[in-house]
Structure 1
Amino acid sequence: MTQPNPQATLTDMFPQSVAVLSKPSVATFEQFERRGGTTEAYIYVAVAALVSAVIAGFFGIFHHDVSAVGQFFSRLLLTLVGFGVFTGLVYVIGKSLFKGTGTYSEVAYTFALFYVPLAIVVTVIGALIPPIGWLLSLLYVYFGFLAVQSSMNVRDQTGAIVTLVLSGIGYAVILGILTRLF
């Protein structure tokens, strides 16, 4: 088994993302789940949050939307918070309901590998052609399904699906509350 590599960099993570997206399987995720940790995952997600926020802000200004600056900051913050909430729920639900044996670090790193490139692509395409952006969002579900099986070692497909569904519900509730507060 590969031990966590606290030295993983963005340049290490990009080819890992390409591998995960081009050869989607539990085995591919398994290759990388311990190559980085929570810090690397959040740095990578912060890059996606920044890129997505800039794109959203640009399209907001381009469309003369006065809330473009607000969109920039809310997207930046909510991307990071949302990622933490969702991956935290995957970890807790997978571990407590399905006896998952993964660590939070493995969940965060594994999810970051597909989340970051998809977030950027979905933001760009969604800004240009919103219905296609929504369709591309379905890829999060597919890759999340594989990532749960890998990072939490929940090989039972039903358990992986239930983990994702419950995490998605919890995420929606928590983010709904947070967006109303801010």
Structure 2
Amino acid sequence: MALIILDRDGVINQDSDDFIKSLEEWIPIPGSIEAIARLSRAGHQVAIATNQSGLGRGYFQLSDLDEMHRYLLDLVEAQGGSIDHIAYCPHAPDAGCGCRKPLAGLIEQIESALGVSAKGCYLVGDSLRDLQAGVSKGALPVLVMTGKGVRTLAKGDPLLKQARIYDNLDSFTSALLAKECF
């Protein structure tokens, strides 16, 4: 079973520079829930690696994050799929933790929880820090143009030359399942 690691905000749900602080603000990007379910039904392990510094900054509580993630899991399950693990960094940027992307701590948590290596898996993100975290563990970078994807691409970072680029999670999923990428 191949592992696929997804960022959350900007890949699965709409992103906000003001943070996604509640279930009411958590709005799926069209096609993303179905894409996750399709990946799962096709035999892929799906994991999420997400920075959630709003916790460390006091913008929302762990119960709010749990509610958003439970809703996400329920939506995917209603489509016949599953998410195997959700890893999140609750720390503010200046906390000096090892789990905040672009560091690899969240990827390592996923590897440990699922008993698999991220080497050679796909990591789908909308920011350079997502891709950096994945590449540091040998993952193959995929950039989507939702969320911060357009701004990320405009930066022209050399890492982007390694990345496959798709409009959104749904288009990546369609290409992967049709064996058209990588």
Q: TM-score, normalised by structure 2?
A: 0.27
Structure in which a larger fraction of residues adopt strand: 2
Q: Give 1 or 2 for the bigger CA radius of gyration.
A: 1
Structure in which a larger fraction of residues adopt helix: 1
Q: TM-score, normalised by structure 1?
A: 0.27
